[in-house]
Amino acid sequence: MSARRSTRRALAAAAALVVAATGCGTFPKDSEGTLDRVRGGTLVVGVSEHEPWTSVGPGDEVSGSEAALVEGFAESLGAEIEWEVGPESILADEVKRGQVDIVIGGLTSVSPWKSDISLTRPYTKVKSEDGKQQKMVMGVPKGENAFQVALERYLAEQEGEIR
Amino acid sequence: MTSNSQTAAGSGHDALPDKQSEIMRKAIRLEWISIAIVAAVITMVGLVMGQSQAMRVAWVEDILALLPPIAFLVATRVIRRGPSRDHPYGHHRAIGVGHLVSAVALFAMGALLLVDSAIGLLMVDKPPIGMTVLFGHAIWAGWPMVAAMLVAVPPMVVLGRMKLKLSEELHDKVLFADADMLKADWMTGLATVVGVLGIGMGLWWADAAAAIAVSASIVKDGVTNVRAAVTGLTDARAKTHDDKGPHPLTVEVEEKAREVPWVKEARARVRDEGHVFHVEMFVVPLLGMDPTPAQIVELRTTLEDLDWKVHDVVVAVVDELRPEQVPAD
């Protein structure tokens, strides 16, 4: 039957596409090349203060558990960090416009900024005061999938999820 | 001077002939299997779906693929009831209603997804697909999506082809719509794979473009089926199971009636009740050869014996064929 043959041909084409896609270097790629730009360059990190994840000192020096994680990530890429302190709403918008690469500040998987920025897969889970489980995430630009995977991989390694 | 023969829908006549009953049983079994497989696919795709628009559209299409089998199973239950005083034509039209319901759902869903995907493209909504951990290994979440789509395609294609064959033998348009939808599913699967791989290659628009292509095909399916279902329900001339042309029986009954010695002219109105046809045969007798009731009954029986689909025949003896009553070609 011709329909069956065309189906088989289509499946073969799909298989070829998969092979081609895996064959040609890194997968996934960024749509704007964020990872390539950051590597050996500058990582712009947006920080909104949210103890104990992030805290901002009087001289705008940033600390906290998420700040430490991001510092480690920047180091793994050989990048310098440029901190950008501000409220979540403004940082989310800056991520969307590509001015900030990562936003941290105790974001959870139910963050209202979900439609503007991409939330990483949860790197850890904590119990909040009212006993609900919260999944901690960071925010990155949408479509920068190589960058997102690099960050997620680093976070998973730090949390001992993968080696 | 019209004389109607008594209606043909008596006991036994309402049931499908043995061969068709057997096919019907097969079709019912196939639809249950189909529902089970589609449900498994929905679960699988839902688990790996992520934020890809194309995946979401494909997932919704899989859910929609449940509608025709459900419509078919409900309709086959309803048509088992014979005609009654309140339902003098029987319940075969339930097939047409089922067809219309699933067609409208198909169209509405397709239109919704089309608009949604187009907005995503216009708003430059770049789909993020990150990493996932599978058995302690980090892999890109796009791979499970691609795998799920490729696994889902073959069973859909096979089911579609099996149903297509049964729909022709049964003259069942719900089954045909169902088969047609499943057959189109491999394109959906493939478009989705292309969309996800496109995202992986940094082409953010590939996903939305694939989603638009897939939803456009759903809309097309919807329009085709709504049109076919409405045509059937508004008593259009009976068509073949795939709605490609007039059913050959619409001509054959007229030819058969003209072979009868006392018949001068014969023309029929044939409508599709779903599976079976309802025939109103208008005959003009030759001058001086007015038929007896027995001759009229004989004509009716002859027509009914032509094919199992000729289910309910009414013969009307008239003095002339009025075009406003029985239009000619």
Residues 65-124 of A with CB under 8 A from B: 118, 120-121
In A, minimum Cα distance to B132 occurs at A121
Asked if A49 contacts B191 with a C-beta cutoff of 8 angstroms, the reply is: no
Q: Do the Cβ atoms of A31 and B126 come within 8 Å?
A: yes
Contacts of B322 (CB under 8 A, 6+ apart): none
- What is residue A124's predicted lDDT score, i.e. its pLDDT? 92
- What is residue B13's predicted lDDT score, i.e. its pLDDT? 39
Predicted TM-score of the model (pTM): 0.77
Backbone Cα Rg of chain B: 25
Tens of pLDDT, residue by residue over A14-43, are 666 655 555 445 789 999 999 999 999 999
Contacts of B188 (CB under 8 A, 6+ apart): B57, B58, B61, B214, B217
Domain B249-317 in CATH 3.30.70.2740: no
- Kindly list the domain boundaries of chain B, sorted by start residue: 2-233, 249-317
Instruction: Say which amino acid occupies B255.
Output: E
Equal fold, B2-233 vs B249-317:
no
Asked if B10 contacts B114 with a C-beta cutoff of 8 angstroms, the reply is: no
Instruction: Say which amino acid occupies A75.
Output: E
- What is residue B133's predicted lDDT score, i.e. its pLDDT? 87
- What is residue B11's predicted lDDT score, i.e. its pLDDT? 29
Give every residue of chain A whose pLDDT is below 70, as ranges: 1-25
Instruction: Indicate the helix (H) or strand (E) that contains A63.
Output: strand A62-63
Per-residue pLDDT 10s for chain B (329 aa) are 333 333 333 323 355 788 888 999 999 999 999 999 999 999 998 988 877 777 888 888 888 888 889 988 998 888 888 888 998 888 888 888 888 988 888 888 889 889 988 988 898 888 889 988 888 888 899 999 999 989 988 888 899 899 999 998 888 888 888 888 887 777 788 888 988 999 999 898 888 898 898 888 889 888 988 998 898 888 888 999 888 889 999 999 999 999 999 999 999 999 988 888 999 999 999 999 999 999 999 999 999 999 999 988 999 999 999 999 888 88
Within 10 A of A75 (CB to CB), how many other CB atoms are there?
13
Q: Do the Cβ atoms of A153 and B131 come within 8 Å?
A: yes
Domain B2-233 in CATH 1.10.260.40: no
Among the partner-chain residues A4, A145, A156, the one whose CB lies closest to the CB of B129 is: A145
Helices (H), B135-203: 142-170, 173-200
**3-class secondary-structure state, position A15:** helix
Q: Do the Cβ atoms of A28 and B186 come within 8 Å?
A: no
CA distance A31 to B205: 10
